[in-house]
Amino acid sequence: ASRGLLEGKNVLISAGPTQESVDPVRFFTNHSSGKMGYALARQATNLGATVTLISGPVDLTTPQGVKRIDVQTAEDMYNNMIEAFDHNDLVIKAAAVADYRPKVTFEHKMKKKQDDLILEMERTKDILKELGKRKSSQFLVGFAAETDKYLEYGRKKLVSKNLDAIVINDITAEGAGFRKDTNQVTYLHTSGKQQQLALSSKDEIAKGLLQLIVSDMGEGL
């Protein structure tokens, strides 16, 4: 991609995990490091975009020129994404959002008891699904992390969440997925176009994905 392909465009990206607290010292989370989402933010900025990055708790420095908003929970991420959504032309959800959270968050540290502990979990809001409902002119891209039947599950998410494209991570593949510096993905567009991006650094994958996205955004740009 040449410089400037996203000049004048506002791009919203989510990255990293969420943390869902049980009490002040314990939480549920996942293995997302934020590397994939941060690489997308960096490369979109290089293409001239104005980038807002909604980030779960990660150990990464903010790419230069990117406006970063830190969040902790799925609920925080939902609120920030919904608020920013209307002002953006391209939205990419690379974050790994919790599907469940503890039904109750205790104000004080839970005390150890003799018996087993049973925690009740409740569903979080599906951010991507809500964005798909609200979509007007935005180009909406989701990610899917799958361990099996990844093309089939990816296509289902593309349709059910009203996305324009989905990036499917087969997280069982060598050198792909959570925490790694490299990735290997399949890009699926609503038109049925399907493109594999071979194993390379997350920055190279981000460049390749943005090139595909820009061409599918087409004349809208």
Give the pair of three-digit tokens for residue 74: 């799925």
Using the minimum distance from each CB to ligand PMT, give the nearer residue, 50 or 124: 124
34 in contact with ligand PMT (CB under 6 A): yes
124 in contact with ligand PMT (CB under 6 A): yes
Angle, helices 202-217 vs 35-46, to 10°: value is 60
143 is in an annotated binding site: yes
What is d(CA 14, CA 38) in angstroms, rounded to the nearest whole number? 9
What is d(CA 39, CA 209) in angstroms, rounded to the nearest whole number? 11
Using the minimum distance from each CB to ligand PMT, give the nearer residue, 48 or 204: 204
> Which amino acid is it at 203?
D
CA distances from 36 to 16, 121, 183, 205 (A): 8, 28, 8, 9
Residue from 41, 145, 197, 206 binding ligand PMT (CB under 6 A): 145
111 is in an annotated binding site: no
What is d(CA 171, CA 146) in angstroms, rounded to the nearest whole number? 6
Using the minimum distance from each CB to ligand PMT, give the nearer residue, 47 or 128: 128
Tell me the per-residue interface mask from 68 to 97 with ligand PMT, x by CB under 6 A, - otherwise.
------x------------------xxxxx
46 carries an active-site annotation:
no
164 is in an annotated binding site: no
139 in contact with ligand PMT (CB under 6 A): no
Given CA atoms 159, 164, 170, 171 in this order, what sign does their dihedral have?
negative
List of residues contacting ligand PMT (CB under 6 A): 32-36, 74, 93-97, 99, 124, 126-128, 142-145, 157, 169, 177-179
Residues known to be catalytic: 30
